[in-house]
């Protein structure tokens, strides 16, 4: 069996290796010639025997759309394209319809596992026609963790369902991470608790809060016991926003995700404008003293109090008000994507950086 894999960034490169270990021939293409097996998409297509399967693993949005559009002109009727990046699920129907004009099949697959997937396997959620999913099953089996198939792979539904399931997965991830973070700060703040790391580690077996995320939190605390020097500035790669919008559209209350996502927005502000307004209003209607920037405040013992104006995060501000609700921001660097996301990053408007596999 053969597979064409487009996008050999931090996930794509590991996926190529894991699939090869399963005995499947993989022909990889990437803009970075140091990791690419071929010099162009045209050469990739020529190296594959028809009917072909081509897996696209590039950043969502324009890079994915451009790649699929180029493949549309190169592939033949009966070939199958799988989008395995973190695409917005509504893009899948558009891509599928476009390829169908030339008789090319389409499926989508949400992929979770990040940099750990090479050894641990990837959690997969696929969307598409049953015959297309079955045709690609040897590839899915190569990528998923060892063990029962249904514990690492799901045919989630029709085209778009795979990316939708992955979107919800990432929304849940936001809430889980924030719950651990809240618990960590409270333990750090309480003077009678002298071993916060040990307390977290003791939860890793036999408790209802054990998880891989907890294991990663323990690892982080082993490396930096009190997270000294770690900036609070936290980006979001977009799936949390999409999930929250879907909750609104479907009248599904999602207060945990909303709080976790908005906390990330707050992390990017040195001095919250809305809380400045609240403080000013308290002063107006109740005669309460208005705290100034150089005053001391009631702050968690685990937290560093706010400094005077001008100090804090040096990496700049993110203007979230200008981000389309149905389009996530492009990550500025592949390392921002984190262990559960898709496929590298972009810089400016020129498509993916080297290693992320644009068709351009």
Instruction: Output the pLDDT for position 149.
Output: 97
Residues 6+ apart with CB under 8 A from 320: 265
Instruction: Output the pLDDT for position 332.
Output: 35
- On whether the CB atoms of residues 319 and 96 are closer than 8 A, the answer is no
Instruction: For residues 10 and 117, state if they share a domain.
Output: yes
Q: Report the domain count for the chain.
A: 2
Q: What is the pLDDT of residues 263-312, one digit of tens each?
A: 999 899 888 888 888 888 888 887 766 666 566 567 788 777 766 443 33
Q: What is the pLDDT of residues 305-359, one digit of tens each?
A: 766 443 333 333 333 333 333 443 443 333 333 333 333 333 333 333 323 333 3
CA distances from 121 to 144, 147, 231, 241 (A): 5, 10, 30, 27
Question: Of the residues 166, 188, 190, 246, which is catalytic?
Answer: 166
Give the number of C-alpha atoms closer than 13 A to the C-alpha of residue 236, restricted to the C-beta side.
32
CA distance 165 to 154: 10
Q: What is the largest CA-CA distance in the chain?
A: 78
Domain that holds residue 128: 2-162
Instruction: For residues 224 and 135, state if they share a domain.
Output: no
Q: For residue 124, which phi and psi values (nearest 5 degrees)? A: -125, 135
Instruction: Output the pLDDT for position 217.
Output: 95
Instruction: For residues 116 and 225, state if they share a domain.
Output: no
CATH of residue 99: 3.40.50.720
* DSSP states along 7-19: --STTHHHHHHHH
Q: Which of 63-72, 155-164, 261-270 has the lowest mean pLDDT?
A: 261-270
Instruction: For residues 100 and 148, state if they share a domain.
Output: yes
CA distance 79 to 51: 5
pLDDT over 90, % of the chain? 70
Establish if 98 belongs to a structural domain: yes
Give the number of C-alpha atoms closer than 13 A to the C-alpha of residue 18, restricted to the C-beta side.
26
Question: Of the residues 173, 188, 327, 336, which is catalytic?
Answer: 173
Last residue of a domain, one of 230, 250, 278: 230
Establish if 256 belongs to a structural domain: no
- On whether the CB atoms of residues 145 and 117 are closer than 8 A, the answer is no
pLDDT over 70, % of the chain? 82
Instruction: For residues 25 and 155, state if they share a domain.
Output: yes
Instruction: For residues 112 and 215, state if they share a domain.
Output: no
C-beta atoms surrounding 199 within 10 Å: 15
Instruction: For residues 124 and 219, state if they share a domain.
Output: no
Establish if 77 belongs to a structural domain: yes
pLDDT band, very low/low/confident/very high, at 97 (cuts 50, 70, 90)? very high
Instruction: For residues 83 and 204, state if they share a domain.
Output: no
Q: What is the pLDDT of residues 32-49, one digit of tens each?
A: 999 999 999 999 999 999
CA distance 121 to 148: 12
Establish if 306 belongs to a structural domain: no
Establish if 244 belongs to a structural domain: no
| Whether residue 173 lies in the annotated active site | yes
Establish if 349 belongs to a structural domain: no
Instruction: For residues 91 and 221, state if they share a domain.
Output: no
Instruction: Output the pLDDT for position 294.
Output: 60
Mean pLDDT over residues 177-198, rounded?
Answer: 95
Global pTM reads 0.80
More confident residue, 2 or 286: 2
CA distance 177 to 182: 9
Establish if 87 belongs to a structural domain: yes
Question: Which residues make beta-bridge pairs with 108?
Answer: 83, 127
Q: What is the pLDDT of residues 196-255, one digit of tens each?
A: 999 999 999 999 999 999 999 999 999 999 999 888 988 888 899 999 999 999 999 999
Establish if 219 belongs to a structural domain: yes
Instruction: Output the pLDDT for position 85.
Output: 94
CA distance 339 to 57: 15
Instruction: For residues 157 and 202, state if they share a domain.
Output: no
Instruction: For residues 18 and 125, state if they share a domain.
Output: yes
Type and span of the H or E element at 161: helix 161-189
CA distances from 105 to 132, 135, 233 (A): 7, 11, 42
Instruction: Output the pLDDT for position 290.
Output: 66
Instruction: For residues 132 and 219, state if they share a domain.
Output: no
Query: Across all residues in the chain, what is the average pLDDT?
Result: 85
């Amino acid at each position: 069996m053969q597979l064409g894999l487009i996008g050999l960034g931090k996930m794509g490169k590991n996926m190529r290796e894991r699939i090869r270990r399963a005995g499947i021939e993989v022909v990889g293409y990437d803009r970075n010639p140091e990791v690419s097996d071929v010099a162009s998409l045209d050469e990739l297509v020529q190296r594959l025997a028809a009917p072909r399967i081509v897996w696209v693993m590039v950043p969502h949005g324009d890079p994915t759309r451009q790649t699929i559009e180029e493949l549309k002109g190169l592939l033949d009727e009966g070939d199958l394209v799988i989008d395995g990046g973190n695409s917005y699920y509504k893009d899948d129907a558009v891509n599928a319809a476009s390829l169908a004009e030339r008789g090319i099949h389409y499926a989508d697959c949400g992929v979770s596992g990040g940099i750990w997937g090479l050894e641990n396997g990837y959690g997969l959620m696929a969307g598409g026609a049953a015959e297309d999913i079955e045709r690609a099953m040897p590839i899915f089996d190569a990528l998923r963790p060892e063990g029962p198939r249904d514990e690492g792979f799901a045919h989630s539904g029709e085209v778009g369902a795979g990316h939708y399931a992955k979107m919800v997965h990432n929304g849940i991830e936001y809430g889980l991470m924030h719950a651990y973070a809240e618990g960590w700060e409270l333990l750090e703040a309480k003077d009678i608790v002298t071993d916060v790391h040990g307390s977290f580690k003791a939860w890793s077996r036999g408790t209802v809060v054990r998880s891989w995320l907890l294991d990663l939190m323990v690892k982080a605390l082993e490396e930096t016991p009190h997270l000294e020097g770690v900036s609070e500035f936290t980006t979001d790669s977009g799936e949390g926003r999409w999930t929250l919008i879907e909750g609104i559209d479907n009248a599904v209350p999602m207060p945990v995700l909303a709080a976790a996502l908005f906390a990330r927005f707050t992390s990017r502000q040195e001095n919250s404008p809305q809380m400045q307004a609240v403080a000013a209003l308290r002063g107006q209607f109740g005669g309460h003293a208005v705290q100034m920037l150089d005053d001391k405040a009631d702050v968690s013992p685990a937290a560093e109090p706010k400094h005077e104006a001008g100090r804090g995060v040096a990496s700049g501000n993110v203007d979230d008000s200008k981000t389309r609700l149905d389009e996530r921001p492009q990550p500025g660097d592949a390392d921002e994507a984190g262990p559960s996301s898709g496929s590298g990053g972009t810089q400016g408007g020129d498509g993916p950086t080297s290693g992320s596999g644009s068709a351009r």
